[in-house]
Structure 1
């Protein structure tokens, strides 16, 4: 007689690690529930004290957060320490405060081992995620504070904050999830390796985009120039109109708009003409060869008087530098203490006219230009 085969129980999935933990999760929850039930039946006094103390601590934490938030106020910007502290308080979750209260309670009231283990795991998860929230708030607050140092960069910072927030979220929450999984006893080596390979692939694929993005962040935070500055690079001189995430737009002196990628722009030598604190003017006078030496000796004093008679000008020196077959060359050097280019040109023109007038009064002629040989 043939004996019917007895059906085998359903096999547990062969995967290990996270799959096994998920497969056992309902059983673990059932075991913990039964442990709590038996704890209340066999040691109800300690159980009630533990739960009551936990709720009391949670209420204290909640009230303290509310009071501190009231003291810090809501008008402060995140760039101040009060505004930053208020942001951290606002982002402190009730789940973390409850987990912290439970963790403190089991330090003084010993619950069953299974309950203590569950509370420890929950507290670890809450702590890691709360730390991630605080780290994210800290990084973004530092970015906002750096950008808020100058109102002219506010628009550029606003356009950059979206991508900065995405990058910060990806990094912070990826690290938080890895830390949680590692604390739960799950092998994260393969996960970290996969993220590394994926990150390298994405980085290589979007290398140009990321290069321009980080160059834009360098411009915003290092500030080699700002919107409204007049800069010179390569063969272009113009005024910066906008700093974007990929390109910078510059209005050239000749009128056209020049669009250059941020990376290429930073790779070149840039002269920021707006940050000139003073301008140095070097002028050369070519005097006639037949000018008497006594009159030539008067020219440096005449140059000094012409410079000192102009506003925003500081005289440095005036010397006869050389005598050529065509003229006696006199070099005059002075400074303007105003960086404005119009003031610079007005000073140069004023000093030149004053010198020509004084030279004519003293009977000193300028050198004649010799005809160019044919």
Structure 2
């Protein structure tokens, strides 16, 4: 019974090389074209030595000379990844192309040269991409601490993508129909992405934090009702230390969906005091209160912004003062606020200005509407002399 071929499978014409024929044709080629071969070999040796020198130059200059964040360093890293296999095949390809080699030998060298070139380009591309990523991150961050958390993941993703493309290119040059393979990889990637959607969302959120830098390690940020200092940016979650001491852990994707307030670049803090005085305060004294508050702020080194009357309270005449303190340390700002509060209390006490507090006065009326005391008048008790 004849074998049935599956029409869905690619037709690959695989023929074993005729080694005897290749050997005979190669010997004949050497005998006829030995002059061209010697010239080509000399040129091949020079090309190999030039590539070797370029490779060694890249090894010596990657991160040891010049700007470690410069493009020359990135190119040096890529040049250092040049393999001897690629350099040998470049020289061999030149020889067979210049010296009119037999078809079988030319085809074999061309096949090996194609594989070597594709793999070498993948290595160069990987080093250049990773170098540019490190350059961008280190140039903006300086310490590169957050980059170390994701560099392993980035290296795996870049390597997988580049070598998958290289494999497809090699198979395509061999005559393999790679359409089904590409479709299978695409479907497999979609399935994996859907299955691990939550994990990948946090991973890419971590990369977004590293490169976009909405905040960095050591910054104090606020989201929702939480104010905390960033301790570690991981691949899955970010760990923070709240100002009240608790350890907070939140997924990267969830954190980026929130409105984040960072206090890292804040060069000053604005402080407000709400002050209420009693309604019995004289008008001329009330008019002096903003000037009194301004003088207190100026004497204590604060940057006065504004002060004035803001409203009639239930039990007080309400004033407000605003001022800025240009200090980076919150503890120092806290001390300034403390001193300002005590100075206001001292000044008001010295001037006889009374602070208001919640009070309530009750008035009682008689049946005819006359205001009377809140309690009934008591008739005096007539003393009786029992001894008389």
Q: TM-score range by the shorter chain?
A: 0.7 to 0.9
Cα–Cα, structure 1 residues 353 and 31, in superposed 2: closer, same or farther, change >3 Å? farther
Give, in whole Å, the separation in 1 of the partners of 2:306 and 2:57.
69
Q: 2:342 aligns with which of 323, 344, 353?
A: 353
Q: 1:366 aligns with which of 351, 355, 366?
A: 355
| SS of corresponding position for 2:82 | coil
What is aligned with 1:54?
44
What is aligned with 1:128?
118
Q: 1:63 aligns with which of 37, 49, 53?
A: 53
Task: Verify the 8 A CA contact 1:152 1:226 in the aligned structure 2.
Answer: no
Larger Rg over CA atoms: 2
In the TM superposition, residue 16 of structure 1 has moved relative to its aligned partner by 9.7
Deviations 1:131-159 (CA, angstroms, capped at 9, x unpaired):
211111122223323443436651x4323
In the TM superposition, residue 321 of structure 1 has moved relative to its aligned partner by 1.9
Gap runs ≥5 in structure 2 = 363-388
What is aligned with 1:310?
300
Task: Verify the 8 A CA contact 1:153 1:220 in the aligned structure 2.
Answer: no
In the TM superposition, residue 113 of structure 1 has moved relative to its aligned partner by 4.5
What is aligned with 2:366?
none
Give, in whole Å, the separation in 1 of the partners of 2:193 and 2:284.
74
Give, in whole Å, the separation in 1 of the partners of 2:150 and 2:361.
59
Aligned: 1:213 with 2:203: yes
In the TM superposition, residue 69 of structure 1 has moved relative to its aligned partner by 4.5
Aligned: 1:248 with 2:255: no
Aligned: 1:86 with 2:76: yes
| SS of corresponding position for 1:274 | coil
Cα–Cα, structure 1 residues 328 and 48, in superposed 2: closer, same or farther, change >3 Å? same
- Structure-to-structure mapping, 1:1-374, within 5 angstroms: 20-21=12-13, 23-24=14-15, 26-27=16-17, 32-67=22-57, 69-70=59-60, 74=64, 79-104=69-94, 109-148=99-138, 149-150=140-141, 154=145, 156-311=146-301, 313-371=302-360
Task: Verify the 8 A CA contact 2:44 2:91 in the aligned structure 1.
Answer: yes
In the TM superposition, residue 340 of structure 1 has moved relative to its aligned partner by 2.7
The CA RMSD measured in Å over matched residues stands at: 3.1
Cα–Cα, structure 1 residues 140 and 67, in superposed 2: closer, same or farther, change >3 Å? closer
More helix by share: 1
- Number of corresponding residues: 360
What is aligned with 1:7?
none
In the TM superposition, residue 67 of structure 1 has moved relative to its aligned partner by 4.7
In the TM superposition, residue 323 of structure 1 has moved relative to its aligned partner by 2.9
Give, in whole Å, the separation in 2 of the partners of 1:238 and 1:140.
32
Cα–Cα, structure 1 residues 260 and 325, in superposed 2: closer, same or farther, change >3 Å? closer
Task: Verify the 8 A CA contact 2:33 2:99 in the aligned structure 1.
Answer: no
Give, in whole Å, the separation in 2 of the partners of 1:98 and 1:365.
95
In the TM superposition, residue 241 of structure 1 has moved relative to its aligned partner by 2.1
Gap runs ≥5 in structure 1 = 1-10
Cα–Cα, structure 1 residues 75 and 114, in superposed 2: closer, same or farther, change >3 Å? same
